[in-house]
Amino acid sequence: MNVPRHWREQIRRYRLVGSKCTDCGRLSFPNRAVCPKCNSRNNENYQYVGRGKIISFTNINSPPKEHKYNLPFAVALIQLMEGPVITAQITDARAEELEIGMEVEMVTRKIMEYNDDGIICYGYKFRPIVEYAHP
């Protein structure tokens, strides 16, 4: 259990905050100290909307033990509507319910917990968009 590490990463994980290069405009996730396109060190935090499309996915059968509580679950490559592609767990849907091109939205869920006495790590996952119409 690495408490400081989870604490350092919590804003990125809770809110889906990445970075934007203020010189060339390139968006990154996770955030970068040096822009991978123009090598600029001028990068600021960037809040993603939290919507995207599945470009590939797979079912996880043998996860690390901290994730076993959640089996079975899918992990997908998701292209965010702003451009960057990220890897994330899918929640509220099994792999057989997913399709390439499916629109998904970010939710903050429990990623893992360290036994009954350790910290609980929360972070982004994606789920099929909740459709809604008002009465």
Question: Is 130 a binder of another protein (CB under 8 A)?
Answer: yes
- Shortest distance, position 135 Cβ to another protein, whole Å: 5
In angstroms, the CA 84 to CA 133 distance is 30
Residues 50-109 that bind another protein (CB under 8 A): 69-70, 91-92, 107-109
92 versus 99: smaller Cβ distance to another protein: 92
Terminal-residue alpha carbon distance, the chain: 47
Which of 2, 10, 56, 87 touches another protein (CB under 8 A)? 10
Query: Of the ranges 7-15, 19-27, 28-36, 55-63, which one interacts with another protein (CB under 8 A)?
Result: 7-15
Residues of the shown chain interacting with another protein in the complex, contacts defined by CB under 8 A:
10-11, 14-15, 47, 69-70, 91-92, 107-111, 120, 122, 125, 130-135
